[in-house]
Structure 1
């Protein structure tokens, strides 16, 4: 069976699909993965054939705000939402569809698997008469700009002759890596859902020295704001709050913030530009993070309590879901202070109810069908 996986450029868009792509390859399927040039090296490090297609959301956004005066992030919400609607609802889908159409004509895959925001791949596949499945990258969440994006998607879908809603895969099967207990009720009621266990994937690399075989009697907190939402002030405040506790802190500053920007840190804090997160999580006791889908799902699978500091996009919805599941606390707005971080982190580490809920959620994740099982069954589902 010939499979083509597709994703918009971005860690959160590409990486959740890689475990299933690898499993499909290992099952004997012919597999390619189309995404932007920036992320092809990561795909190829997983042993998958990479195919360039589309532009990144960042490139599309910067093209849309070119010529505007001042910082576009300071635009009134209604203007910013219109821009995001054009980016995700029109610019990105058209760019990807245009690039992927000749690929589909040349490779003639039996199935196209597209990540849940990559409508352009669905448009091109449907126009070519090729079956396609959507693939979530986390909980299906409502964004602040959601209605603008939804309206633009509907208009662009009509241009391609496609009906239905992007959130539910335009009526096609949806490979869903979010545990059912924390998934959107509306999505569960409407989608043709195929559950797939979320399996973390990181670019191969070594864990920081001293992580493996460390003394587990002393807690280790892992702090990250992910790859797109780096904020020096937020990291510094969180570091101050965590360092006040009798534990060690490992901080992944990410590609947006240089380690040197955080200056001197307390002796129980270690700064790293990058860590292989999927390999790290089994070694930590608390995850303090932005609420990105990859980190949220990774903590679910590892059975870890979470302190969520949402910065934007779907992160508020992810934080709410984790709190409602009993495995997390969140801090936002004026409630986010170093003192609040200290208090909440201490409580999360000591709360047996949180620990029990995190363990139960990890068991739910472990019971979901593994990527290898789903990959082996794909031919019978097309």
Structure 2
């Protein structure tokens, strides 16, 4: 069986696809991954021996230069992403049995168009539930679109969301479909999601309430990570008490110097050492004291169990990795699905949800104090044993079983 996996986005979108691709190969599939051409994605795929098909423009410069929430230039970026799907992904999908897709709506809609044209099985997967239509919650805000005021029925909001999505992307996708010999679609969002999308989240951390949409929840897709920790980091860990990890992943973070200072001062206020991840925000240490260490990309699965707490932005992957490690969390959500994960951490008693995206030393110290409480550590440890570890296996078997 030949499977093409396609994604476009930051590490939070890429890592789940990487995990499923590797597990599918282990179960007998021939796999390739279409992903942005950024060097770090190419390197990760090379490390596990999975073929990389670069698609679209590098994503890191895009993420770190676009104003959060701004719709400026969105139409042009979306059109370029759609073109890449119809060109690069269509060529890579030739001869495949299945196409598994994550990423922004215009990417997914065009990928399904490719699958339709080639007669290839299509699977849309989401690593968060926020964007999947459900009467149990409001839809997320789309860039540049106003939020309706006052109480509005959730279903009515989702209907409006479908209309807005089609207004934003429908004309361009139908233009591209016409050039591909395909008829127009009248609902881009629902076409992209299909009637049976997969939800790659843990059912304890993110329980899905059944709806008319035939969602298949597989568990989270976390790639097995066997990379050793850097020697300098291991020495730091061995030299003292468990530190607090601070990292915001692919988030650009406004005023990174102030964020780094607030984080380090908050950790010190709690009498702890700190491991600070540079991330896409390019965080740096505020002084040369030996109670802090700056790191680049590291194996979080190996690091988190050796920490006292994890301070992060609230991506699905980092939240799940920290939960599996049984370590308390402080989530400083920046946008998208991150407020959802922050709320889940707080609701489950796994840590604290920071109030707002801009931490100060005082606000972060207060949140960290709550997370470091013995009862929070005990709760995080208890929940860790309930987090599923077979998400990629479940999804890979679904793929292979469908192929007979």
Aligned equivalents of 2:18 and 2:189: distance in 1?
21
Q: How does 1:183-332 map to 2 (within 5 A)?
A: 183=206, 185=208, 190-200=213-223, 204=227, 206-209=229-232, 211=234, 218-230=241-253, 231-257=256-282, 259=284, 262-332=285-355
Q: Deviations along 1:257-306, whole A, 9 cap, x unmatched?
A: 164xx341543221123322232122222100111222112112222211
The CA deviation at 1:99 is 1.9
Residues 255, 94 of structure 1: CA spacing in aligned structure 2 closer, same or farther, 3 A cutoff? same
Residues 226, 100 of structure 1: CA spacing in aligned structure 2 closer, same or farther, 3 A cutoff? same
* Cα contact 1:202–1:278 (8 A) shared by 2: yes
After superposition, the CA RMSD in angstroms is 3.4
313-322 or 298-307, which moves further after superposition?
Answer: 313-322
The CA deviation at 1:313 is 3.0
Q: Structure 2 unaligned runs (5+)?
A: 132-138, 144-160, 178-183
Residues 334, 258 of structure 1: CA spacing in aligned structure 2 closer, same or farther, 3 A cutoff? closer
Q: Deviations along 1:60-86, whole A, 9 cap, x unmatched?
A: 689xxxxxxxx9639xx6xx2364466
Match for residue 362 of structure 1?
Answer: 384
Residues 272, 334 of structure 1: CA spacing in aligned structure 2 closer, same or farther, 3 A cutoff? closer
Match for residue 73 of structure 1?
Answer: 67
Query: Would you say 1:97 and 2:86 are equivalent positions?
Result: yes
Match for residue 142 of structure 2?
Answer: 145
Please give the secondary structure, in 2, of the residue aligned with 1:196.
coil
Aligned equivalents of 1:50 and 1:110: distance in 2?
18
Aligned equivalents of 2:71 and 2:224: distance in 1?
31
* Cα contact 2:252–2:280 (8 A) shared by 1: no
Aligned equivalents of 1:201 and 1:114: distance in 2?
20
Residues 357, 35 of structure 1: CA spacing in aligned structure 2 closer, same or farther, 3 A cutoff? same
Question: Normalised by the size of structure 1, how large is the TM-score?
Answer: 0.81
The CA deviation at 1:202 is 5.8
More helix by share: 1
* Cα contact 1:304–1:358 (8 A) shared by 2: yes
* Cα contact 1:86–1:149 (8 A) shared by 2: no
Query: Would you say 1:48 and 2:64 are equivalent positions?
Result: no
Aligned equivalents of 2:270 and 2:346: distance in 1?
22
Aligned equivalents of 1:307 and 1:329: distance in 2?
5
Query: Would you say 1:122 and 2:145 are equivalent positions?
Result: no
Residues 156, 378 of structure 1: CA spacing in aligned structure 2 closer, same or farther, 3 A cutoff? same
Match for residue 34 of structure 2?
Answer: 34
Aligned equivalents of 1:355 and 1:379: distance in 2?
39
Aligned equivalents of 2:367 and 2:99: distance in 1?
44
* Cα contact 2:334–2:357 (8 A) shared by 1: no
Q: How does 1:7-22 map to 2 (within 5 A)?
A: 7-22=7-22
The CA deviation at 1:22 is 0.7
Please give the secondary structure, in 2, of the residue aligned with 1:281.
helix
Aligned equivalents of 2:252 and 2:226: distance in 1?
19
Question: Normalised by the size of structure 2, how large is the TM-score?
Answer: 0.77
Match for residue 65 of structure 1?
Answer: none
The CA deviation at 1:6 is 0.8
Match for residue 24 of structure 2?
Answer: 24
Aligned equivalents of 1:42 and 1:150: distance in 2?
35
Aligned equivalents of 1:283 and 1:335: distance in 2?
27
Residues 73, 369 of structure 1: CA spacing in aligned structure 2 closer, same or farther, 3 A cutoff? closer
* Cα contact 1:197–1:365 (8 A) shared by 2: no
334-343 or 142-151, which moves further after superposition?
Answer: 142-151
Please give the secondary structure, in 2, of the residue aligned with 1:20.
helix
Aligned equivalents of 1:81 and 1:232: distance in 2?
26
The CA deviation at 1:307 is 0.6
* Cα contact 1:134–1:172 (8 A) shared by 2: no
Aligned equivalents of 1:187 and 1:84: distance in 2?
33
